[in-house]
Amino acid sequence: MSEFSPQHQFAIEIVVKLRSAGHVAFFAGGCVRDALLGREAKDYDVATTARPEEVRKLFGHKRTLAVGASFGVIMVLGPKDAGQVEVATFRTEGPYLDGRRPERVEYCTPEEDAKRRDFTINGMFYDPIEESVFDYVGGAVDLAAKMVRAIGDPHERVREDKLRMLRAVRFAATLEFSLDSTTADAIREMSSELIVVSAERIAQEMKKMLVDVHRRRAIELADDVGLMRIVFPELDLICRESEWQVTLKRLELLDAPSFELAMAALLKPLTDKQAVDKVCRRLKLSNDETDRIVWLVAHQNDLDDAARLSLAALKRSLAHPYCVDLLKLLRADRIANSLSLESIEFCEDFLAKTPTEVIDPVPLVTGDDLIALGLKPGPLFKSILVVIQDAQLNLEIESREEALAMVLAEWNK
């Protein structure tokens, strides 16, 4: 394992310091898996025999956070470019009464710690000083076989933390691995139990799946093991129809999408705005995420015949801050359905050739102008502003004087 990042170097320094104080310390979990795959890890975890209070004493209270001290976890803060490294005491865990956190932990040996982890490929330890791997669970074999397999009894691993069902799917999809059949069967049998997991944790897993280039496979696998009907019951019927293959293709065709765009591509068959909003609220997405996803699905037909729209209608759509994502969504959808790209290409060409100030010009008149003329805010007030803006966007008027004359004409109708 080579040193690639400041966090990697900082994690090594933590191991060295723990070792110097007489403790056993290894890299643990996903960073070991990624390094063995030849990938730079996104973050580094350290497992050690040091107790939480010993870790805090060694690194100092100002440089540590007791984020999970009762579970043996301390966060050690590094230099600005290195971020932070999770340092956890080797432990076994008692019953998971809430399907997420153990009732108690007991400190133990590295081998015992490895056997309570989720999947074999995540259960290995690495000594960055001696450059040696400690594998008590067969992780190296499964890594070579490109297999995601639960450690020990998969039912037990899922009972401990129900989110592991979605994590198994994500790892299999994003790593281009197979999902062990025994593990997959356990997930199918227990899929309904995912409902005990918080919406925020489920949403976080879905975000990781949907922004990844393997998003299609992740969704297909989630459907295969019965998790789609739990996370997205609104799509259950669609998953059994021909539209489902179009949905999967649409997801696959997106190029490095934002989470919101990928989510809109998944939920596009739910043409009812309220249904999409309900999904987003259930997953407790932020207001900004929800607004973008709902808007994209609700406006999916706005540009179907773009060349025949009035300039005002076209410019309004193209001036919207979510328009770029809308065009990406529509392009993927039309290709997935083997439809013409004429409308999309028309819009893209219009955007390329038309200055921003023409597509979204400064209004010739505002609400303040109408108030100054003596008009009180109300339905007529709003309709006049729309009429004036339409005329401006359609290039029917070009000056403030023309706009004010039109206001008076509309007012006196």
Q: Considering its fold, how many domains does the chain have in total? A: 2
Q: Which two tokens stand for residue 273?
A: 């705005």
pLDDT for res 336? 97
Domain boundary among 124, 141, 158: 141
Cα–Cα distance between 152 and 136 in angstroms, integer?
11
Residues in the chain: 413
Counting as low any pLDDT under 70, the low residues of the chain are: 1-4, 93-104, 413
* 292-338 pLDDT, tens digit each: 999 999 999 999 999 999 999 999 999 999 999 999 999 999 999 99
Q: Is residue 57 part of a domain?
A: yes
Domain that holds residue 389: 361-411
* Statement: the pTM of the whole predicted model exceeds 0.85: yes
Tell me if 290 sits within 8 A of 281, measured CB to CB.
yes
Backbone angles phi, psi at 324, to 5 degrees: -60, -45
CB 137 within 8 A of CB 150: no
Q: Decide if 174 is inside a domain.
A: no
Closest CA to 347 of 386, 320, 385: 320
Q: Is residue 213 part of a domain?
A: no
How far is the C-alpha of 396 from the C-alpha of 405, rounded, in Å? Answer: 13
In a domain, 124, yes or no: yes
State the CATH number of the domain containing residue 118. Answer: 3.30.460.10
Answer with the one of 141, 167, 191 that is the final residue of a domain: 141
Instruction: Match 């919406």 to its residue by tokens.
Output: 199
Tell me how far apart the alpha carbons of residues 248 and 31 are, in angstroms, rounded to a whole number: 30
Q: What region does 374 belong to: left with phi over 0, alpha with psi -120 to 50, or beta?
A: left
User: How far apart, in Å, do the first and last CA atoms of the chain sit?
Assistant: 78
* The pLDDT value given to residue 379: 85
How high is the pLDDT of residue 1? Answer: 44
104 found inside a domain: yes
Q: How would you classify the pairing of strands 25-28 and 45-48?
A: antiparallel
Q: Do the beta carbons of residue 188 and residue 227 sit within 8 Å?
A: no
272 within domain boundaries: no
Domain boundary, last residue among 117, 141, 165 = 141
In this prediction, residue 402 carries a pLDDT of: 94
